[in-house]
Amino acid sequence: MLTDLERKALQNRQRQLVNNLFDQRKPAANGLMVYRNSLLMNAARALSLTYPVMTQLIGEQAMTILARELLLNHPPHSGDWAEWGGELSDLVRQTQALAEMGFLQDVARLEWVLHQVGRASPAPIDVTTLQHLEQIPLNRVRIHVSPAIARISSDYPLEAIWRAHRHLAHSESLDHRGLAEAVADHQGESHLLIYQQSAVPRIRPLSALENQWFIDIQRGLSVAELLDRHPQMDFAQWLSDAIAHRLITHLSKHFF
């Protein structure tokens, strides 16, 4: 296990190596050019696998350019390309040429979360802790959500954008005008829950109530506080669904 100091030193060496490889001011021998191109192609392919919808939206050439920028500023920390590329949404936000499509940053965020949730280890549920709901006061019971879930909120119809491109064949063309109109007509925030089912990441739309419910659980509110704050929530139905989809891991009891 690397210490923080050793990990930082390794990252600095990797960054220097990538900078040397891509420094256009230095003459590159044939061998270096081959290695440089191979590294870039591997990085671009890794990004396209992690961000398939982004690749559909902006094209493979643009993704290759972004891959090069990520290599220069955020070189991989390990030999596993699947662990690399999490900074793409920040890079998209900083790239002026992509500024007109403001939803791209959120699409990148969604795809990275999907990638991470898909790679997460399944979290077991301790069903024995459900007895806390009957045995102790609800103001001492806390719900713990699975580490293999995530929430995303966006000003854009993020799920519609993602699904419109996710299953689009390369030979098909998207109705960009229709999609642009849908984005322009969207009002308010959209909320998504990303969870894992049978080792596959899934997306579920959340209402504003459901989204706030999850926020308050993660804030550490007790079951009693949750029910007081959200009287519209059908707690029994939600709990049954949360167990079925492994959205929670256990309930805990707290002492004052």
Residues 71 and 151 in one domain: no
- 118 in any annotated domain: no
Residues 141 and 94 in one domain: no
The per-residue pLDDT for 162 is 86
The CATH code of the domain that includes 151 is 3.90.930
Residues 164 and 238 in one domain: yes
Residues 38 and 139 in one domain: no
Residues 241 and 158 in one domain: yes
The per-residue pLDDT for 123 is 84
Please give the DSSP secondary-structure letter assigned to residue 131. Answer: G
Quote the domain boundaries for residue 131: 127-253
How many domains does one find in the chain?
A: 2
- 214 in any annotated domain: yes
Residues 96 and 133 in one domain: no
- 196 in any annotated domain: yes
Residues 42 and 139 in one domain: no
* Average pLDDT of adjacent 10-residue blocks, the chain of 256 residues: 65 63 54 71 92 90 92 81 92 86 91 94 90 94 94 91 69 55 70 91 94 96 97 96 94 81
- 88 in any annotated domain: yes
The per-residue pLDDT for 112 is 96
